[in-house]
Amino acid sequence: KQEVTQIPAALSVPEGENLVLNCSFTDSAIYNLQWFRQDPGKGLTSLLLIQSSQREQTSGRLNASLDKSSGRSTLYIAASQPGDSATYLCAVGDSSYKLIFGSGTRLLVRP
């Protein structure tokens, strides 16, 4: 059974710092990996989708990497801003449609 773990559970950094969020999964036979952002009381916003054949994706200040063999993904956020404060969720696609989520990392970027 696929299990997804995110470390740390919470992170507080000063504005401007570069930071890395970690995601690990137990079964390397995945279809894709997706990073989401969730604001309090809101739904999920997709940030980056990495297909199993890819190793990374970039969007603006965000870069996500995927290493299937080691069961790891990282989300790199450059030059963090207070508006980046949210919960970041990692989700592994164990089929073409089903996502298995981690519990998330709660990020606070202090002004």
Residues in contact with another protein by the rule CB under 8 A: 4, 31-32, 34, 36, 41-46, 49, 51, 89, 91, 93, 95-104
By beta-carbon proximity to another protein, the closer residue of 13 and 44 is 44
By beta-carbon proximity to another protein, the closer residue of 61 and 98 is 98
Token duo for residue 96:
């073409």
Q: Give the 3-state secondary structure of residue 39.
A: coil
| E strand residue ranges, the chain | 4-7, 10-14, 19-25, 32-38, 44-51, 56-59, 62-67, 72-77, 86-93, 99-101, 105-110
Q: How far apart are CA 12 and CA 104, in angstroms?
A: 14
Q: Nearest approach, Cβ of 46 to another protein (angstroms)? A: 5
By beta-carbon proximity to another protein, the closer residue of 77 and 99 is 99
Q: Nearest approach, Cβ of 38 to another protein (angstroms)? A: 9
Q: Nearest approach, Cβ of 61 to another protein (angstroms)? A: 19
